[in-house]
Structure 1
Amino acid sequence: MGHLAFAGARLFDGERILDDHHLVTENGRIVGIAKGKPPSGSAVHWLDGGILSPGFIDVQVNGGGGILLNDDPSAEGMARIAAAHRPFGTTALLPTLITDTREKVLAVLDAARGARIAGVAGIHLEGPHLDPARKGAHLAEFMRPLGDDDIALYLGAAKTLGALVVTLAANQVSAEAVHQLADGGVIVSIGHSDCTADQAEALFDAGARGVTHLYNAMSGLSHRDPGLVGAALTRPDVWGGIIADGHHVDPRALEIAFAAKRGPGRLFIVTDAMALVASDKDSFTLNGRTVRSDHSGHCPKLTLEDGTLAGSDIDMAASLRFLVERVGLSLEDALRRATADPADFLRMGHVRGRLVAGARADLVHMSDRIDIRAVWLAEEL
Structure 2
Amino acid sequence: MLIAADRIWTGGALAQGMAVQLDASGAGIAALRPLGADTPDLRVALLMPGCTDLQVNGGGGVLFNADPTPAGLRAIAEAHLRLGTAAILPTVITDAPEVLEAAAEAVIAGDAPGIAGIHIEGPHIAPERRGTHEARFIRPLDARTMAVLARLRGARVPVLLTLAPELADPALLRQAAGLGVVISAGHSMADAAQTRAALAGGVTMFTHLYNAMPQMTSRAPGIVAAAILSDAWCGMIADGIHVAPEMLALAMAARPVEERCFLISDAMPSVGGAAQFSLYGMQIRVQDGALVNPQGALAGAHVDLLESMRRLMAMTGTPLARAIAMVTDLPRRAMRLPPLEIAPGMATRDLLALDEAQAIVRW
Return the TM-score normalized by structure 1: 0.88
Change (3 A) 1:307 1:359: same
CA contact (8 A) 2:56 2:91 kept: yes
Q: State the shift of 1:324 in Å.
A: 1.1
Alignment-derived partner of residue 303 in structure 2: 314
Alignment-derived partner of residue 37 in structure 1: 36
Change (3 A) 1:25 1:351: farther
CA contact (8 A) 1:8 1:46 kept: no
Alignment-derived partner of residue 379 in structure 1: none
- Whether 1:282 aligns to 2:287 is no
| C-alpha separation in 1, matches of 2:198 and 2:153 | 19
Alignment-derived partner of residue 50 in structure 1: 45
| Match 1:239 to one of 222, 228, 233 | 233
Q: State the shift of 1:35 in Å.
A: 2.8
| C-alpha separation in 1, matches of 2:31 and 2:183 | 33
Change (3 A) 1:227 1:14: farther
- For 2:295, the aligned partner's letter is D
| C-alpha separation in 2, matches of 1:187 and 1:46 | 43
Partner SS state of residue 129, structure 1? coil
| Match 1:293 to one of 280, 286, 296 | 286
Query: Which string of whole-angstrom CA distances, capped at 9 and with x for unpartnered residues, describes residues 165-200 of structure 1?
Result: 111112331222222111211111110000111111
CA contact (8 A) 2:7 2:16 kept: yes
| C-alpha separation in 2, matches of 1:231 and 1:287 | 33
CA contact (8 A) 1:9 1:50 kept: yes
| C-alpha separation in 1, matches of 2:146 and 2:259 | 25
- Whether 1:209 aligns to 2:197 is no
- For 1:248, the aligned partner's letter is H
What residue ranges of structure 2 are gaps of 5+ in the alignment? Answer: none
| Match 2:267 to one of 273, 287, 301 | 273
- For 2:77, the aligned partner's letter is A
Q: State the shift of 1:78 in Å.
A: 0.7
Partner SS state of residue 241, structure 1? strand
| C-alpha separation in 2, matches of 1:344 and 1:358 | 21
Q: State the shift of 1:119 in Å.
A: 1.4
Q: Cα RMSD over matched residues?
A: 2.2
| C-alpha separation in 1, matches of 2:323 and 2:346 | 21
Task: Give the alignment of 1:122-271 within 5 angstroms.
Answer: 122-236=117-231, 238-263=232-257, 266-271=260-265
| C-alpha separation in 2, matches of 1:59 and 1:326 | 22
Q: State the shift of 1:267 in Å.
A: 1.1
Q: State the shift of 1:265 in Å.
A: 5.7
CA contact (8 A) 1:351 1:358 kept: no
Alignment-derived partner of residue 366 in structure 1: 354
> When the two structures are aligned, how many residues end up with a matched partner?
360
- For 1:364, the aligned partner's letter is L
Q: State the shift of 1:269 in Å.
A: 0.8
CA contact (8 A) 1:213 1:241 kept: yes
CA contact (8 A) 1:190 1:212 kept: yes
Query: Which string of whole-angstrom CA distances, capped at 9 and with x for unpartnered residues, describes residues 24-73 of structure 1?
Result: 577977676433339x7xxx973322100011000000011112111101
Q: State the shift of 1:161 in Å.
A: 4.4
Query: Which string of whole-angstrom CA distances, capped at 9 and with x for unpartnered residues, describes residues 260-309 of structure 1?
Result: 12327611111101111112x222111011111113xxxx1111121211
Alignment-derived partner of residue 342 in structure 2: 355
User: Identity of paired residues, percent?
Assistant: 35
Change (3 A) 1:37 1:116: farther
